[in-house]
Every structure is written in structure tokens, then in C-alpha cells.
Amino acid sequence: ALGDNLRFIGRNTAETLDVSANGFALGAVPFFQTAVENLRIETLDGNDTIHLHQAPAAAISFDGGLGANTLAFRAGTHSFATELGVLAPNFDIAVHDVAILNFTASQHLGSLTMDGASRVNVTTGGDKALRVTSINLTGSALLDLNDNAMILDYATKSSLAAVQSLINAARNGGTWTGPGITSTTAKNASPANTTLAAIESSEFKSLYGPKALFAGEVVDATAVLLKYSYYGDTDFNGIVDFDDYSRIDQGFENNRTGWINGDADGNGVVDFDDYSLIDLAFNTQNA
């Protein structure tokens, strides 16, 4: 019947739940969701794993409890218009093979692991933030931020170099045809004056103060901040201006590195190419 609801409540032990288009199974016991329009999974406090082998017909929601839980997408296209992490902020996300995730709302997640030809898209709008505790992309996996922001909260060792490497791989010299952390919005921009920029949250706070919010989020001093930006917008204020030229000059003269010092293409050195990119952005911003 239309409007039927199915609610799965787990136990306070480690469990594995497999969800497919036609039903789901706890261990060897199958359940079928024919005519079920809303599927809610509550895993309670165990360290649980949920495998989604195909997007189920039912609208699906999760409450991960207090355990260290993993939500693994193994195939299909899955779209989420609300926060996965509202009731499950400790969900680790794994996206395998050719699975696709579309986020049309900001997300607060645990780790993000992607492999194969998997894809995660944060839809355009410039109003969303993807927040994770770690990221690992292998194969030809693509995380497409479009024109949105990302926060990577790390524990001790900075993840900035690894994140910049993933951006560089996707940017692929400005063509945006490689795997990694990409931006279809930057790829399609005309003129091609935008990119994904990454800085330390400590750098951001040095500019705007210890209580400054990034993308509407509270951040501490141990995070990497990613922003869709004009080339050369070193201070993340949305425009290329005199302050940015001052920083790139200081970066060039003192052999500094990093976005905040004018390394617009992320290659580890401030040089002529960076000046060319910042000039392009300055002359065409808001065009």
C-alpha cells in the first residue's frame, strides 16, 4: 500500500546490513520492501556496517547511534537532500566501484573513502559545505565540489599537502579532466578564471580572527579549508584586489608556497604562471 513505512532497529552489537533495490538482509535473513515507501535504519550503539548495492525504491534514512558506523555504497545512484549526519555524525562513508552519490544539502560526515570509478557530487549553488574527518581517493574516483566548500578536520598531521595533490590531479593543468577533487563549475567557467583553493584553517584565522566562521561553520586550528575561488583570491574574500597582489609579491620575493602566498596553480612555487592566473582573474572577475 502507498505510504507504508519500514523501520529496522538493530542491537547494541556489531552488525552488517545489506540493502538492495528489492530488499535488505541482516546476515542470512532477507527482508523485502515491496510497496515500502520509507525505510528507516536505526543501528543503535554497535559498530555497524550498511552496504547499499543499489539505490532502494524506498526513501531511506539512518540513525547510526553511538557506534563507529560505516555506510558503504557499492552500486547505483543515491541522492540525499538532507543531512546524512544529523542522527549519525560518526558515519564513515565508503563509495565503491561505479556508485554515485549526489548531495543537495550540506553534509557532516566521518571519513570519506572512494575507489574505482565512483563519484560524489555536491550540487551547484555555492551554499553547501561538505565536512569530513579524512579523505582517501584511489583509482579514477571523483569528488566534485562544483562551487561549494569543504572542511577536512584532521587530528594531528596536516592533510593540506594530500588535499592539494588531489586538486592538482583533477585540475590536470587547467583542463579539469583528471581524477581527484574536482569542480565541474570551474571546468565549465568561461573565462576559465576559477579553481578550488585550499588553505589551513590557522591561516584563515590569522586573517579573520580566532572566532571566524568558514562557510558558516565553526572550525578549529586543525582543518583544511577548500573553497571555489577566483585564481589569486589569497584571502578567500571573493574578489581579487590589491591585498592579493601584495601577498603574491611577498610570496614570489621570499620563495613562499601555498595558496595564501599566491601559488594559484598549486604547484609548490610562486612564479610567472601564478601572476598570469591572478591577472586573468582580476581582469575578468564578475564578468
Residue 31 has pLDDT above 50, yes or no: no
Containing domain of residue 8, as a range? 4-239
Same-domain status, 164 and 251: no
Same-domain status, 88 and 162: yes
Same-domain status, 193 and 280: no
Q: Distance between CA 4 and CA 2 in Å, rounded?
A: 6
Same-domain status, 134 and 252: no
Give the total number of structural domains in the chain. Answer: 2
Same-domain status, 223 and 271: no
- At residue 251, the 3 state secondary structure works out as helix
Residue 4 has pLDDT above 50, yes or no: no
- The reply to whether omega before 210 is within 30° of 0 (cis) is no
Q: Distance between CA 43 and CA 41 in Å, rounded?
A: 6
Secondary structure tally for the chain: helices H, strands E: 5, 23
Same-domain status, 157 and 287: no
Residue 28 has pLDDT above 50, yes or no: no
Same-domain status, 189 and 256: no
State the helix-helix crossing angle for 242-253 and 272-284, rounded to 10 degrees: 180
Confidence (pLDDT) at 216: 97
Q: What are phi and psi of 242, to 5 degrees?
A: -55, -40
Of the candidates 105, 123, 130, the residue with the CA atom closest to the CA atom of residue 185? 123
Same-domain status, 218 and 244: no
